Amino acid sequence: MLDKNSKIYIAGHNGLVGSAIWNNLKQRGYNNLIGRSHSELDLTDQMAVKRFFDEERPDAVVLAAAFVGGIMANFLYRADFIMQNMMMQCNVIGNAYSHGVKKLLFLGSTCIYPKDAPQPMKEDVLLTSPLEYSNEEYAIAKIAGLKMCESYNLQYGTNYIAVMPTNLYGPNDNFHLENSHVMPAMMRKVYLAKLIHDGNWDAIRTDMNKRPVEGVTGANSNDEILAVLAKYGISDNRVTLWGTGTPLREFLWSEDMADASVHVLLNVDFKDIIGIEKYSSVFYGKTTTGAVDRNNSEGRGGAIPSLGEIRNCHINVGTGKELTIRELSELVVKTVGFEGTVEFDTSKPDGTPRKLIDVEKLHSLGWTHKVEIEDGVRKLFDWYRESLL
């Protein structure tokens, strides 16, 4: 059990979810938090990660760090998506075990589910049919991560929990056009198209200085700025988005995700997910209070065959609600105050047609979302404008 003095390492504490988890824990009075930026600790460096665990000896780990991006990035950087994420996960989870970490929370993504999975997607549909091709590598890495957690629990009696959030958005979101997710990319495109129409070049240059596009900043000429923005479907009072606009998506406010993550970290154990009677009756030996000998049966899962087939122990985290990409664009347009035209380039891929998750398991564990999409889009736009000041 973690207490207010427990040392908690948050990998990815500067990111969208990691920063929100950090703040949530702080608000709850957990102040013994550790974070390292990528420049301070490269999680793909096995020896550097081991040295960090040797020195810090955290009681708990939240693995919120990942190599992420939208549909374009998934197409372009396929090798990076699988290799970078696999290395980070192996290094952090492996060292968490060897250093006796009491609790680990692994953050994945609902892209782990098959492209044509029955909707809403329950945890049990994992690995039942092919994945969406455009993000296959990232999905496979995340599936491997959740399986690592599950397998360590079953073999060594650890307490590693995997949560799979739906599409996230919120403070510290990534608005860089080359590799951002759908909502921040859409919001920035609509905002810049409005500024171009308004002739507000001071605001455009401020935006480009804050987040350059392909190396183009506010110091470039008007024509150079317009040319690079046009490549991303942004022009005077006109925005072009990828696909047909018909795919359905579920969105979760990042601070809600953080609250769900902390709730699971503090209140949910592996035995709660698979059934306390089944788990506790056959698991024996040491728990996660200290490292165990990999070559000694003591501390392992015990009579594994008597457990039957235990799988899909991860937890979906979302709202259980969805809207189309076109409906999202209309919400963004209204929030930004854009009076121009939004077009859809149907020659570009849509990605998975629908990605609604079943959140019954999450609700049964005592948590439900608070921020609805209409309020969330407004909150995100407010944050984005403030980030430019």
* Active site (catalytic) residues: 138
SS (H, E, C) 345-366: ECCCCCCCCECCECCHHHHHCC
Q: Alpha carbon of 203 to those of 88, 206, 209, 235: distances in Å?
A: 38, 5, 10, 15
Question: Using CA atoms, how far apart are residues 168 and 369, in angstroms rounded to an integer?
Answer: 12
Q: Which of 350, 319, 345 is nearest to 246 (CA)?
A: 350
Separation of CA 319 from chain center:
15
Q: Give the 3-state DSSP-derived string for 164-195, with helices as H, strands as E and coil as C.
A: EECEEECCCCCCCCCCCCHHHHHHHHHHHHHH
* Cα–Cα separations (whole angstroms), residue 139 to 143, 160, 281, 301: 6, 19, 34, 27
Q: Give CA–CA dist 304/300, Å, rounded.
A: 9
Angle, CA 377 vertex, CA 372 and CA 378 arms, to 5°:
105
What is the separation, in whole angstroms, between the first and last Cα of the chain?
42
CB distance 109 to 165 below 8 Å: yes
Give the pair of three-digit tokens for residue 381: 């736009």
User: Which residue type sits at 355?
Assistant: K
